[in-house]
Structures are given as C-alpha cells and as structure tokens.
Structure 1
Amino acid sequence: MTTSETTHQPIRRAALIGGTALLVLAVLAGFANFGVLENLVAEGDAQRTAQNIREAETLFRYGVAGFLVVAVLDVVVAWALLVFFAPVHEGVATLAAWFRAVYAGVFTVAIAQLAGVPSLLGAADTTGGRLDAEVLSKINAFHDIWDAGLSLFGLHLALLGYLAYKARYVPRLVGVLVLIAGLGYLVDSLGRLLVPGSSIEAAMFTFVGEVVLMVWLLVKGGRVTVDESAPASPVRQS
C-alpha cells in the first residue's frame, strides 16, 4: 500500500462505515417508529393504546430496543462523518459531530420514557384509567423530548450540507439537499415549540437529502482521495 493510499484509507473507511450505519439506522428507525409505535398507539385514546401494547408487549419491547440501537448508531455516524469531513474544516466537522452526539443523548432520554411502559403496565397497584393515562403520558413525553432533540439533529445536517458544498468532494447538489434536510428538521422542531398545535411536517419532504448522502457514501465515498494542493476543495474522487 502506498503512502497516498494509507492517507486516504481512513477517510474511505469512514465513508463506508457511515453509509452502512445510516442504512441500518434507517431500517431500524422505520421498523421501530412506523412498524411498531405508530401501529400500537391510538392518538388521544389512552385505553386503546394501553390495550394494544398489552396484546403486543414483545413487539413493543423490540421497538424500544430498535430505537436504542438507532441512538448508538447515531454516535457511530457522528464519528464517521467527523473523520470524513475533517479535511474540509475540522472545527465545523467537530461541531457537527457534537450536535449529532448530543442529539443521540437526548434521544436516549426520550427512549427511556418508552422503556418504562411495560413495567408500568405490569404494576399491580395501578389500574384502570389512571394506568392507561400514565402510559399515554409517557409516550407523549417520548415524542416531546424527541421533537426537541431534532433541532440539534437539524443543526447537524445543516453543517454537513455546508461542509459538502464547501468541499466539493460530493456533488454540490448533495450538499444543498442535506442543508435543506437540516432546515426541514429545524422548521418542524421550532415550529412545534413556538406555535402550539403546529402540524408542520417539512421533514417529510426534505429528508431526501439524508437518503442521497447515505447512497453517495456507500457508492462513491469509498473512492475519495485527499488533494492537499487544493485547499478550497481538499478531497476529490479517484
């Protein structure tokens, strides 16, 4: 292996690790959120929600476990993208990584609300409507904490979009799409905080930037090379 290849290898490896982690993360998040939580939770109906979880407690536990793995993978992605984008601007890349790592911590706090639901349902001294209301309250708390954390995730994506656009080691369009995805999360998160009852769901349309970045990392990221003679665009594809 040449000196040049040795220099490029950590960045290429980080791209593949980050892309793979993003792919697994997306599958698990889809299963946990859409396949489990949204199927079991009846919005505004505490009794039905509690009954659904009782009848599918094992599935619910798998969903919570899936969320926890997602939180761990978020930290892996934060590290991988830090390594990958550091040649562009180490300070901004580090800040972006911290935003995602802190988001993962906030998300874990949110998941803890769900983790307490099975034990609550099994409590012998809490029955009827009170128990059902507590279950729904924990689920609502999960969503509230997660929504707050998504503002940090949005900042993470916005910085990644800036780095991609600045470096040009991914197509500029990808950088723009990732930046837009970050702004979408910020609009959603801050909208719910500042406008009571807000139903804005911008991220439903802007998330495409995340998908494009993931695919690019898997398909092209493993072939990038560092060009130290071009500081404005320090990384290029081989």
Structure 2
Amino acid sequence: MIDRRSALAAGFGLLAMVVLSGYSFATLSDAGADLRGATAGFAIVAVLDVVVAWGLYGVLAPADRGLAQLCAGLRVAYAAAFLAAQGNLLAGRSGVDAFERGWDLALLVFGVHLLVTGWAAIRAPHVPTWLGALLILAGAGYAGDSLGTIAGYDLGLATFTFVGEVVLLGWLLWAGYRAPRGVGNSPA
C-alpha cells in the first residue's frame, strides 16, 4: 500500500522543482539577468530534493528499506553536490561556467540515484514495474550525459529519457490522492 503523505510530498516537491528550475535556468540563460533570483531558486530546489528523498523513502521502504535508504541517500548527496555547484553563482556571471561543470558532476550522482530508484520501484509490488523501467532509462540517460560531458561529448540522452521523471511525478500525485486517507505513517 502507498504511503499517502510520502507520495504527495514527493509528487508536490517534484512539481515545485519543475517550476523553480524552469525559472532559474531561464534566468541563468539570460545574460542580462541578475543571478540572485536563479541562485535562490536553485537553493530551494536543493531543499526540495531532500523533501523528495524523504517522500521516495516512504513510498519505497515497505518493499526494501535498505534500497530505499540508498535511494534517499543518493538524492541527498545529489542535492549537496548541486548546492555546492551553486556556490559558483555567487561570483556572478563569471561563475556560470564553473556552476555548469559542477552541475554536470552532480548529475552523475543524480543518474545513479534514478538507477537505484528504478530498481527499488521494480522490486516494490505497489509500484508499477514499467515505472521502474522508465526511471532506470532516465538514470542511464543522466549518467551517460554526465560522463559524456566530462569526456567532452554532448550526448543529449536525457533529452529523451527524462520522461521517466515526469511519469514519476504524475504517478506519485495520482497514487497519493488515490491512497486512503489515514494511510500516511511513513516507515521509520
């Protein structure tokens, strides 16, 4: 059975991240824009990553607590790496390239997180197997892109494989709303 609070927290966290990331990346790509808004938006996204990690733990732990902990730990590690990369933006426009390099490294951790999350979803009887497969594809896309960027190649895999994340967002909200009220005590 799905933990209602966990699913909704993760789903709404992901939804808020879509909005804030979109705003922040749009600001970052506007050469004339002040980066304070982008930096604040990205910082909130990093905090929301921790909320999503907690929510995913609550959804996945009933099937495999250890795997759910690994999934959550990798998401928090990604959030920390992403936040560290954001420190480069404090230098203003001169720090954008360093931020992007740091973010590329952080995306490798994110890709591994999605691979583990996909595997955990496949093992969880209350999560559709196809969703786990989509998450594994998304993780492979991010990890491949990150490694490609480090090697000097722009593979663009995540341009296609990110769909797993979008489907996860929708499924979490759907499953959370569908779960009976009162089902919300996440596993300790």
Please give the TM-score of this superposition, normalised by the length of structure 2.
Answer: 0.90
**What do you get for the CA RMSD once the two structures are aligned?**
1.5
Task: Show the counterpart of 1:30.
Answer: 22
Contact 1:110–1:143 under 8 Å retained in 2 = yes
Secondary structure of 1:95's match? Answer: helix
Q: 2:11 aligns with which of 16, 19, 26?
A: 19
1:140 corresponds to 2:97: yes
Name the amino acid aligned to 2:138.
A
Match of 1:92 among 46, 67, 87: 67
Code of the aligned partner of 1:143: E
Cα distance in structure 2, aligned partners of 1:112 and 1:188: 23
Q: Could you report, residue by residue, the CA deviation over 1:49-108 in whole angstroms, capped at 9, with x for unpaired residues?
A: xxx2xxx32xx2111110110000001101111111001111111011111101111111
Asked if 2 retains the 8 angstrom alpha-carbon contact of 1:169 and 1:224, the reply is no
Does residue 1:219 correspond to 2:183, yes or no?
no
- Alpha-carbon distance between aligned partners in 2 of 1:103 and 1:65, rounded to the nearest angstrom: 17
- Percent identity, aligned pairs only, is 43
Partner of 2:30: 39
Distance 2:116 2:96 in 1: 31
Gaps of at least 5 residues in structure 2 are 181-188
Displacement of 1:224 in angstroms is 4.5
CA-CA distance at 1:221 after TM superposition: 3.1
Distance in 2, Cα, partners of 1:142 & 1:107: 9
Query: Do the aligned partners of 2:145 and 2:156 also contact (CA within 8 Å) in 1?
Result: yes
SS in 1 for 2:18: helix
Which amino acid is 1:85 matched to? Answer: L
- Superposition deviation, residue 170 in structure 1: 2.2
The count of corresponding residues between Structure 1 and Structure 2 is 180
**Larger relative CO (CA 8 A, sep 6+): 1 or 2?**
2
The one-letter amino acid of 1:20's match is F
Match of 2:164 in 1: 209
Unaligned runs of 5+ in 1: 1-7, 41-51, 118-134, 226-238
Aligned-pair CA distance for 1:29: 0.5
Please point out which of 129, 150, 167 is paired with 1:172: 129
